[in-house]
Every structure is written in C-alpha cells, then in structure tokens.
Structure 1
Amino acid sequence: MATTPAARPRATAGEGDARTGVGFRSDRGPVLAAIMLSTGLVALDATIIATAVPSIVRDLGGFSQFPWLFSIYLLTQAVTVPLYGKFADSLGRKPVMFFGIALFLLGSVLCGVAWSMPVLIIARAIQGIGAGAVQPISMTMVGDLYTVEERARVQGYLASVWGISAVLGPALGGVFSEYVSWRWIFFINLPLGAVAAWVLARRFTERVTRRSHRVDYAGAALLTGGLSLVILGLLEGGVAWGWASARSLVIFAVGAALLVAFVFVERRAAEPVLPLWVFRRRILAGGNLASFVVGALTIGLTSYLPTYAEGVLGTSALVAGFALAALTVGWPIAATLSGRVYLRIGFRDTALIGSVFVVGGAVLISLLTADSPVPAVAAAAFVVGVGMGLTASPTLVAVQSVVGWERRGVVTGTNMFSRSLGSAVGAAVFGAIANATLAARFADPPAGLAGRMPDSADTSNLLVGGDAGGAEPAVADYLRHALYDATHHVFLALVVVAVLGVGALLLMPRRAEPLRFDDV
C-alpha cells in the first residue's frame, strides 16, 4: 500500500472510529464539513446551469449545440475520473482534490467571460476536467473516514448538499438569468470554491509515502479519443450530417476501434487507468451499470425539464428552476432513509425498491402534455428523485464496501466514471433525439406556415422563452408544439433507460462479499 491516510482521528476506518461519533462535533466533523463544501462546488453547478440554458441560447445562439454544454463537461469529467482515482490511491486524496478545485474555478471564470457558444463549450470542458476530481475524491474520503454502518448517516449529510443546491441552484440560476446575467451562474462558484479549499487546507491532513508510479498515458488517450468520437457522432448525427453518411460511419468506426484498442492496452498496462478487474465481479459490474443509468437519467431530466417548462408551458426561468428542484429535493430525503433500509435488507434490494420509483416517475413525466400544470411537473420529478436517492447511495456504498483502502479510490472513481459516462452518453443520445425531432418539424411545416418559419432551430431563438420571441401566433404555436414533441420523445427515452436500470441492479448479488486480492 503506497499511502497511509492520517485524516482519520483514529488511524484506520473501523470499529474504533464509531466511538468518535458521526456528527459535526466529532473529531471528524471539520473534515466532513470540508467534504460537503467540496461536493457543494459541483452540486451547485449541476443545478444552477440547467435553468439558465434558455437564457444562454437567447444570448449566444446555437440551440442544437446546447447539449454540448452538458456533454463536453460530462465527457471530460468522465474520462479524467479514473485517472484521479488512481492518483488518489498513490499520491493521496488532498493534492488531487486541490488540483480539481483549482481547475474547476479556472473553467468557471472562462465560462463567465465566454462570448460565443464554442468558447463556452471549451470553457465547460476545462470545468469538467476539474470536476472529475472533486466528486469522486470527496466520496473516497467518506469511504476512508467512516465504516459501512456510519456511512448510512453520512450519506444523508452529503445528500443534503444536493438538496440545498437543488433549492439555491435553480433559484439563483433563474434570478441571475432574469435580473442580472447568466454569466453570474459561473462566477458564483468562485467564493464557494475558495471556502472549500481554505477549509481543506486547514483541517485535512494525511501522511503519504511517495513512490514512483507509471501513468497510463496510452490508455487515457485511447479512452478520451474513443469516447469523444462516439459522443461527437451521437450529437451531430442527423444534424450536421446524415446518420448513414460516410462521415458518420467513419466517426463511429474509429471511435469503436479506439475503445477496443483501449481494452487491449489496459490488459497489459502496469498501472491501468481503468483496471478491468472492476468489471469482473457482479457487485462492481452491476453497481457501475446502475451508476451509468443514474447519470443518464439525471442529465436527461436536468437538461430538458427546464426547456419543457419554459418553452412549452411558458413559465419563467425561476419557476422552471423550482420545478426541477423537486428532483434533487426528493433525492437527499430518500438517500438519508436508504441507509437504514440497506442495513436491514441489503444494498441490492434497497436499490430495486428505488428503481420502482424511478420507473414510475419516468412514466409520469412521459405523460405530461403541452398544457400540464407546473405542480404536476414538480411532482413527477420528485418521485424520480426519491427513486434516485434509494438507488444511487446503496450502490455506491456497496461498491466501496468490498475493497480495502488501497483500492477504494479506484472503485469509487470507476463508479463515478460510470455515472459521468452515463450522463455524457445520455446528453448525446437525448440531444440527438431532440434535434432529430426538431429538424423533422422544421423540414415539414404545415402548408399555411411555409415560408414563414425560421430557417432552423439554430437560426432562431423562438424555441426558448414563453413568448416565443414575439413571433406571429400561428408560428409561435407550431414552434411550441414542435418543442413539446422533442421533449416528449426525450421523456419516452427516459422510461426505456429507467427500465434498463432494473436489469443492471439484478446483476448485483444480494449479499456483498469482500473482494479478495487474488480476485483482482
């Protein structure tokens, strides 16, 4: 074992730690507070940008490009998470966390001063590279500090961060978008990040035994290149070029070839960026697939619920934000309760109960009409949030519980990688569905509207904003229903993904057995 953490008041996480207590007045309280602040850095950004997307599109243009604001962020986050997990096990948690916070704040500044959609997309990529460290290392620290029994309560604390961000994020996003500027949704990260870094610097200490290690640059490059091409093909296929075009086929073929090469490289790498043994055990494979589904569902809802509420129902950004907040309010409430449940009936069964809520909530969302009331939107989102809380927390704790400290960073990083990858792929797939629907509606308008429609969804801001940008009533009504069709198709896809999540959970064994060294 290359590192020995000293952040824990009692040398190792075990029964001895339970005597120090779990609350903020315990020996570990300041460290827990610092972890929550760090988690809040990413949580606030995840919720605050969703309601500002329509305002950003109105200002910078490029409606069909807006999924890239999520995809590029999640893609860079996903491909860097395994690297951070590996470094956390060899260099220690603290330096990796500091690097991630610094890069995230740099990306936030660049996002705030962006003058075009391409520039904003690049800045979001930088943000994502930083976020790739913050969330998984925070979760790894929790795994170091607390036993499985204690994590039941601590997961509730961490989930409360998302709940607070769920209320503050959409509200701030709506207020900034309507009364100040959407750029402040990025600048607000700066004071939060500064406080998080300051608390960690003062309160979190660890002793690290340095050793030489080999970075798997080839694996990282192949993984990044392969996933980037696949995401590019999904996002631009059917929009910038046809699905069956030579360009599309080449992009998917090269992307697939790079990913196949990545698997062969990882099998021979001395220190693989994503060790393949994490997919060989049912509990790890099932937990990672479930995390992938959680990521896809989360990005689908946070990307398209506000767009549906504003563009179809005609609400303000602030009201759309509160509708979305119901999702991440239900999440921490259920996550807090999940600890008590999985200690009684096990990780998998708890997650399966959550999947019932997820599927049910997704069905409710798919039944929303072009005239549904906003409370109905919020209620459906709340049901999904409850299901997420009962699914995400147990699967993460299950994955962490089967390995020791020296591999906890890797398995936690892989689980976070799966969630980020699910979000990136989800944003691409859902974006492709929405763009294809809109393209079809714009290409074949009613005869009475021929010649009165904007050239495309990209050349008009009429698709965002409740007043349809002041268009004549007939055109505005058609655009509103076109946007409803696009979001409705995305919501139907969410139901399919939710059902697939049940299958992922069934891969997990009912009991989590410790992973022996000779298994990996």
Structure 2
Amino acid sequence: MESFRRRLKLSTVRRETIPSPVEAMESSPPTAPVPPASNPESITDNAPSTAEEPDQYLSPRPLMVMIASLFLIAIMITRDLSILATAIPRITDHFHTIADIGWYAAAYMLTNSALQPLTGKAYTYFSLKYTFLFFVALFELGSLICAVAQSSTMLVVGRAVAGMGGSGLLNGATIILGVAAPPDQRPMLMGLLMSMAGVGQLAGPLIGGALTQHASWRWCFWINLPVGGVTLLVMLFIKFPPYKARKASWTIRDVIHDFDIIGFSIFAPACVMLLLALEWGGSTYSWSSAIILGLLCGCAGAFVAFSIWEYYHGDAAMIPASLVGNRVVYSSMITTFFQFGSLIIFSYYMPLWFQVSKSASPTMSGVYTLPTFGAQITTVIIAGALVTRLGYPMPFAVVGSALATVSAGLMSTLDIHAGAGKWVGYQIINGVGRGLSIQQPIQAVQAVVKPDMIATATSNVMWAQTFGGAICIGLAQTAFLNLLRSALKTRAPGVDASNLIAAGATDFLGKIARSGNQELLRGVLLAYNQAIAHTFYLAAGCAVASVVSCLGIGKTKLESNKNKKNAPQAEDEEKGLPDTTGNIHKPAKSDEKEKAPTLDGSVDSRSSKEPAN
C-alpha cells in the first residue's frame, strides 16, 4: 500500500514538473538530429510517415479523376510503342527510304531506357505534380515533331524526344498512385493501370492501321496531342497529396551530387551500346564483327564502372546499392525484367503469326489477340481484390508466372492448321497469368520501402521492366531471323532468305500466291510458322526465370492504411526507432521507462528526476 501511495505521488509530481512540449523546446538546448542509417534497412523499413496517414490521401472523387487521367496516359504511352507497326510501310513510302526503319523504334527505346532511373530522382526531389506534367509536355513535344516531320531524320529526332518524355510517365503514374491511393486500394488500381497499358498495346496496331488507311500516318502522332492536353488540364487543377521535395533550394554542386550526374553519364552510354548491339547484331552486322564486339565490350566495361561508382556514391546514387541490395527490391526488379520480356515477345509475334499463318489483316490480327487482354483485365480485377484481402503478393506472382510458362510452351506447338480453340485457349491462359502477376513486383517494392524512397524504388523497377522488354525483343528478333533462315533452307530451299526478310512477310507471300506455286507457298508458310513458334521458347524461358526470381519477394505483406497508421507507429515509439527524417521516437511510458538510458548512454533527467519536497 505504501509503495502504491509513493508511486501515485511520484506520477502526480511528474505531471506538475514535466514541461510542455513548447516549454521543453524553449528551455532545452537543441540536439543534433540523428542521421538516417545508410544500410538497406534504413531505406526499406516501413517507418511511419505523414505521407502514410489516411487523411493525406485523395478523397474518392479527385482520386477517380486522377486515376482516369493516369489510365489515359498509360494507354497513350503503350499505344505509341505499337502504333508504328502498321504505319511504317506508308512512312517509308513518304520519305522514300527504308534505312531508318529500325531507328523509329530504337530511338524511342534508347532515350527511354537511359533516362528512366534518373526520373526517379526527379520525382524524389521535386513536386510530383509538376514533374509529371513536365514529362507529359516533353512527350507531347516529341509527338508534335513526329507529326510535322519533313524528313526521316526529323522523325527519328522526334521519336527520341518522345522517348525522353515517356521515360517519366508510366513510372510517374505508379508513383502517384503509390502516394495518392490508400495501401488497401493500390493492388487493384496498380493492376488496372498495367491492364490499361496492355489495352494501349493492343489498340496501337488497330488505330494505326485505321488512321494510316483512312487519313494519314501523321495522325498516329497528332492523336497524342489532345490526350496529353486533357491530362495536363486535369492534373493542373487536382490538389496532390503532400509529398515535399527533399530540398527547397539548389546549387550546381547539389544537382551533380544528388542527381548522380556522373553515374548517369556512365549508365546512359552503357544502355545505348547494349541496345545498339542487340539492334544491329545478326542483321546489319554479323555478331563477330568488330562493331558489335566493340559495343558489347564497351557496354560491359561501362556497366562495371557504373556499378563501382554507384557503390561508393551511397544513397545519393541513381540506383542506390542499399536499395537494390534489399532482397525484395532486387527480386522484384529481376521478376519484372523477365515478365515484360515474355510479354513483349508475345505482343510482337502473335499478331505476326496471325498475319502469316492465318492470312489475317493487320487490323484482324489485333482483334485475334483480344482473348489475351480480355483475360488479363478480368484477372487483374480479381487478383487486386484478393491481394487486398490476403495481403501477400508473392503467391499470385508465382502462379501467374507459372501459367505464363505453360502458355508459352503451348504456343510453341502452334502450326498453320491450329484451330481457334487452341489459339484462343492458349491466349486465355497467358492473359490469366499476366493478370495474376504483372502488378505484384511494384506492389511488393512499395510495401517495403519508406515513403520518401517510393519514387526511386518504383523508377528502378520500371526501368527493369522497360530494359527487359527492349533486350528480350532484340534477342527475339535475332533468334527469329536466324530460325527463319534455317527453316527456309529445309522447307523452301529455292527462296532467298534476304529477299524474303527485306520484302516483309505478307508482301512476299502475296507474290508467291499470285504466282500460283502452291508448293513453294506452303514451304514458306511452314518455315515462317516454325520460326515464330520456336521464338516462343525464349518467352517460355523468360517466364520460367520470373517464377524463380519472384520467390525472393517472400512473405512481404501489404498493410492496410489502418495498420500503417497504428501498428508501426506504436511499435516504433515503443522501441525508440528513427523515422524517415532520422528523428527518434521517445518512449511514452513513464512508469516502465524510469531512469532509461538515452542513445548516448546518459540517463534521461526527466524520467529519473525525484519529486521535490
């Protein structure tokens, strides 16, 4: 009893003697802030932040308007990548040259891949809204240059500028969703965003064919201007959630250090050399030529130098070693690399298979791929709801990648006599696999990184996605051409492979059909079918690799915004853990923390102070 009275008296006196927070700030000497640690945990701990408070998210109506705008951007970007497929013949006729055909796509991919990691820095250090609008405007400028191009070279320059703008749009959309939407809504929204990207990729050839046939190839680029203009106006009047830039003022030295300009100057040429080697190898130059070998050696040396520089540049690096050193982050990057490698191979070669083996028009070949995207969009909605409820993305990534592997294997068995039941069923399996897995890597990364690292982490994952697609489509093109040459030797030995490749599949087949040589026509069809079907082996290999790599995501759980508000905050306050700014949460329990030593080993004077008599 006496002990209870003494404790009650002690706590009463404490309430009278402990100063208010304002008095404490005025009377206490300032203490040096504790800097955040530089190890992986300092970046990937789920520490509480004001950006994670539920009242900091957008309310439903502005959020829906923003999401609609982001969906338009996703469709526009991916449609722009695929719309040229049906417009290139008219473009080459207009400029009277076929020398730059490869550059119409390569110029976009080169600038897009090289700049993408740097865009994460821009979103980290500057306003989300105005950074995103800047990239929209830059993409629109590139589209305008393409639309008014007076030469093939001008068109290539416009594609390069559009690639610079596009480098910050799709990853910017995922970053904005990660900040504006509550955690329990992100899986479905992120999946829908990726599905809209798939819709754009599907719609590209359809829209491009219609515009080129009934208007002009220039409308393939003019159409981007109203879409981007609407997005600019809508985003300009939406109040974004708080997401403060890290610095209010800048110097040239700050820009060079914080934006890792030196790292970028090493990284960009490495990407360019690798993509050029894949673009030219086996087509423009032989793989054993001095040019290709020089590009590959230069690329390898540049990547080694870049890795060393990034390691020593610490957390200010463009691709921080402490970030990608986290198992969930690097596993997600590898997974999305192979996922999109497999996806883009199907996206390019399934329409070609329909045009060659089924004599479909460019428009109908796009229509025939609807089962993939229909199944993908439906599954994304279901998977988003399930991930939101269960909270674990890894099982969905594993099952989805496994289904993509199965579908790739099945598609490699397609022949010219395959019925609709086969190619529709195989595509549905592929679409279900995509829908289950495609959004999970980004979800996992955004679940484990701190709020102020979401932009950098998301940009790195999106770079892996873009780079994986660019590399895998380059490898697939090389494999396809070599397989076609080999198949023609056995199935149509009288056909010159170089003439067939230069003329294009449908034009050459049309000439053979008009000649009436049915045996030769059948041989060429079988050779084309074999080359395309065997190219799907590469897609299957990518899907298998994604099954293995996504296991590294582990038991990462997506917390609801209620849990993010209460559980981590209480736990960190109890343990005295640092938040994202490096400040230490002081223990709040006076009875249990009496005379607790502080971080420097001294005794907290307020908790050990005896009552005055």
Q: Shorter-normalised TM-score: what interval?
A: 0.7 to 0.9
CA distance in structure 2 between the partners assigned to 1:115 and 1:491 by the alignment: 38
- The corresponding residue for 2:592 is none
Q: Does 1:13 align with 2:44?
A: no
Aligned-partner Cα distance in 2 for 1:31–1:127: 22
Quick one: distance in 1 between partners of 2:100 and 2:535?
A: 16
CA distance in 2, matches of 1:48, 1:439: 28
Q: Which consecutive unaligned segments of at least 5 residues does structure 2 have?
A: 1-34, 36-48, 560-567, 569-576, 583-613
CA distance in 2, matches of 1:61, 1:304: 27
Q: Which stretch of structure 1 is more off in the superposition, 33-42 or 308-317?
A: 33-42
- Work out whether 1:337 is the aligned partner of 2:382: yes
The CA distance in 2 between the partners of 1:268 and 1:518, in whole Å, is 25
Shift of the alpha carbon at 1:106? 2.4
Larger Rg: 2
Matches of 2:163 and 2:318, distance apart in 1: 18
2:279 alignment counterpart: 235
Deviates more, 1:245-254 or 1:275-284: 245-254
Q: 1:296 aligns with which of 341, 350, 373?
A: 341
Number of residue equivalences: 505
Which residue number in structure 2 is paired with residue 4 of structure 1? Answer: none
| Matched residue type, 2:397 | A
1:450-469 equivalences in 2 (<5 Å): 453=496, 455-457=498-500, 459-464=502-507, 467-468=510-511
The answer on 1:187 being equivalent to 2:222 is yes
1:268 to 296, 299, 312: 312
1:352 aligns with 2:398: yes
* Pairwise CA distance, 1:261: 0.8
Q: Distance in 2 between matches of 1:158 and 1:246?
A: 43
| Secondary structure of the corresponding residue to residue 12 of structure 1 | helix
CA distance in 1, matches of 2:261, 2:488: 45
User: What amino acid is aligned across from residue 417 of structure 2 in structure 1?
Assistant: D
Unmatched runs of 5 consecutive residues or more in structure 1: 2-9
2:481 alignment partner, one of 404, 423, 435: 435
Q: Which residue of 2 aligns with 1:424?
A: 470
Q: Which stretch of the first structure deviates more once superposed, 38-47 or 185-194? A: 38-47
Identity score, percent: 22
Q: Partner of 2:322 in structure 1?
A: 277
Residue 145 of structure 1 corresponds to: 180
CA shift for structure 1 position 194: 0.9
Query: Is the 8 Å Cα contact of residues 457 and 463 (structure 1) preserved in structure 2?
Result: no
Please give the alpha-carbon distance, in whole angstroms, between the structure 2 residues aligned to 1:403 and 1:138. Answer: 17
For residues 271-313 of structure 1, the C-alpha deviation after alignment (integer angstroms, 9 at most, x for no partner) is 3222122221111111111110122122212222222211332
438, 459, 464: which one aligns with 1:392? 438
- Note the C-alpha offset of 1:177: 4.0
Change (3 A) 1:151 1:466: farther
Of residues 242-251 and 428-437 in structure 1, the stretch that sits farther from structure 2 once superposed is: 242-251
Corresponding residue number in structure 2 for 1:414: 460
2:373 aligned residue (325, 328, 337): 328
C-alpha contact (below 8 Å) 2:147/2:218 kept by paired residues: yes
Match for residue 260 of structure 2 among 204, 216, 219: 216
Specify whether residues 505 and 344 from structure 1 end up closer, same or farther in structure 2 by C-alpha distance, changes over 3 A only. same
Residue 456 of structure 1 aligns to a residue whose secondary structure is: helix
State the AA in 2 paired with 1:362. Answer: A
- Kept after mapping to 2: 8 A contact 1:354/1:390: yes
Q: Normalising by structure 2, report the TM-score.
A: 0.74
Q: Aligned partner of 1:211: which letter?
A: S
- Note closer, same or farther for the CA distance 1:48–1:330 as it changes in structure 2 (3 Å cut): farther
RMSD: 3.5
Does the aligned pair in 2 maintain the 1:350–1:390 contact within 8 Å? yes
Q: Which stretch has the larger CA shift, 139-148 or 480-489? A: 480-489
Alpha-carbon deviation of 1:163? 6.0
Residue number in structure 1 paired with 2:269: 225
SS class of match (1:125): helix
Q: Is the 8 A contact 2:333 2:460 kept in 1?
A: yes
The Cα of 1:315 is off from its aligned counterpart by 0.3
Shift of 1:151: 1.0
Hey, what's the Cα distance between the residues in 1 that align with 2:122 and 2:367? 38
- Relative to structure 1, the CA distance from residue 463 to residue 485 in structure 2 (aligned partners, 3 Å threshold; closer, same or farther) is farther
Aligned equivalent of 2:588: none
Q: Deviations over 1:362-405 (max 9, x none)?
A: 12221211233456434433322221121121221110111222
Letter in 1 for 2:345: G
